Chain A
């Protein structure tokens, strides 16, 4: 006779941030019905409070964990370790900034509905399940919760054809990739008899790989990898990204390019490093090919773009290519902490600089002007000097110019490549970053060197947007100048002592 598992206080504590976010999301849906039209500003306030409560929940878990590595909960499906906590904070920070950016934007678009914030919080719940998943069922459900919420958010401007079209494309390709991903997971379940990543890891190494079933394992790996690479938008599975990024509401583009992408990375690292490390002799060569294709394809395509959102979409694909290099360096021979560390730092700095860039584009949206064409940036310096300078900071940071945050992400990835002897890949990565400078400076050129065509009035920027831009710009510059504290945080997240070599180079 099977006994039913009992939930303990630990389980409830570990699920606290997720529970809180779900409650707030459902609360927003209910309260939105009762709010008269002029009081819709309460929705973002409630969402913001929800994010705050969830952050406090994560903080409580962090203190309760103390020095221990991590705790399994909810019938061993959830592993809340420092890695997961790091991503929890990252998701919540990105969501808070995206909420601040959304307030004025939704009013301008006349789509000021509470569902927007509810869906945003629900997608964060999905992301947390992905980052803390130790079981492929939880990871898959988290992925789908996040993805389905995001499909709706992308199509949120339902009167706008571009938004409809972006949502349709994103949905079809996203659901297709989820299907392929689930097929791979079902084969892994069949091969190992368990849905737990730890058990899958052991069974693969001990039983499956030495046996003739290895072929099936390779098929399972390739289908799973296809799904994973789809979610982080790596070439050749990137085609949905530019379309979805261009058509989506600009604030959601920003949210997708940082939070959804970080969640995709958390899932990829969980599955490949925690679950399928024993098959790395097969997936590392695939990733080498994919990362080179990603850097080449994205950088070339970005050169010819005339839409800022689309340009930044290709730039975000290119950044995925650099991060994949970190994963290769981190796993190719023996697990190398610096490679994975590079990815985590990259995701952190990328969150702030990319959200900031999309924030500036969002602030250009006002009556009758969408503001996402490159020409709309013409002469921005004379119309809105502060925004123009901030945009320049974000662009230089995205390009990886030293005193800014973006530099440190690239620095650790290239450092790890050199440490592990991947000189060709390091050279390629540096070459493509220089290449990337061209299209980032194209934006700067439009802002500072050209004259405004339409003779527009000065931009009115809301206080919440100012806060969001201020926070992102401050973080971009602060992490760039004083990265030590943040590198320590990432070391803490990965449970590694700081590398003496890197420490020397920083001081």
Chain B
């Protein structure tokens, strides 16, 4: 029972990879711009999960390997990625609103003025 409950770093990485793939599939297949933006957020959250889990892992490593209690790079990086995701979402929705005002759609198939 105890062994079943133990969640290792690998579990987090697999979850992160799954989220990442879901995000990539979402960006490539969904036609609604808002959902595409949400899929991009999913990718960035996969990155955050990876970073925090790996930071935890390195904190458990010996200091001579670069680990120890101070090995917080991953968590700091995650905070930056969260900030970046917020900025990107704000600008993304702003551009989407400007687009919607002129075109009255959020469907990616109708973003077709510029091609070849």
Interface residues, chain A, with chain B CB atoms under 8 Å away: 2, 136-137, 140-141, 144, 148, 151-152, 155, 158-159, 161-162, 164-169, 171-172, 175-176, 178-180, 182-183, 185-187, 189-190, 192-195, 199, 203, 242-243, 246-247, 301, 304
Contact = CB atoms under 8 A, between A and B. Distances in A.
B95 A186 contact: no
B91 to A, nearest CB: 5
Given A137-B77, A162-B114, A144 B24 contact: no
A445 B72 CA distance: 61
Contacts of B91: 148, 151-152, 171
B33 A162 contact: no
A195 B46 CA distance: 18
Interface in B31-77: 33, 36-37, 40, 43-44, 46-47, 50-51, 54, 57-58, 61, 65-67, 69-71, 73-74, 76-77
Given A186-B47, A193-B58, A193-B61, A164 B98 contact: yes
Contacts of B96: 168
A149 to B, nearest CB: 9
B74 A189 contact: yes
B70 to A, nearest CB: 5
Contact of B114 (A148, A165, A301): A165
B50 A190 contact: yes
B51 A172 contact: no
Contacts of B88: 144, 148, 171, 175, 178
A133 to B, nearest CB: 13
Contact of B40 (A141, A176, A199): A176
Given A168-B33, A175-B92, A182 B47 contact: yes
Contacts of B50: 183, 186-187, 190
Chain B, interface size category, equals: 35 or more
Contacts of B84: 140-141, 144, 178
A175 B40 contact: yes
A144 B40 CA distance: 14
Contacts of A182: 43-44, 47, 81
Contacts of B73: 137, 189, 193-195
Given A137-B76, A137-B77, A165 B116 contact: no
Contacts of B47: 179, 182-183, 185-186
B81 A193 contact: no
Given A176-B40, A183-B20, A193 B67 contact: yes
Given A176-B40, A183-B50, A246 B114 contact: yes
Contacts of A162: 113-114
Nearest to B96: A168
A180 B24 contact: yes
A159 B67 CA distance: 53
A165 B113 CA distance: 7
A172 B36 contact: yes
Of B50, B99, B108, the most chain A CB neighbours within 10 A belong to: B99
A148 B54 contact: no
Interface in B67-116: 67, 69-71, 73-74, 76-77, 80-81, 84, 87-88, 91-92, 94-96, 98-99, 102-103, 108, 111, 113-116
A140 B80 contact: yes
A175 B36 CA distance: 10
A165 B61 contact: no
Contacts of A199: 66
B114 A169 contact: yes
Of B61, B113, B114, the most chain A CB neighbours within 10 A belong to: B114
Contacts of A161: 102-103, 113
A144 B74 CA distance: 18
Contacts of B98: 155, 158, 164, 167
A193 B73 CA distance: 8
Given A167-B95, A168-B95, A179-B43, A193 B71 contact: yes
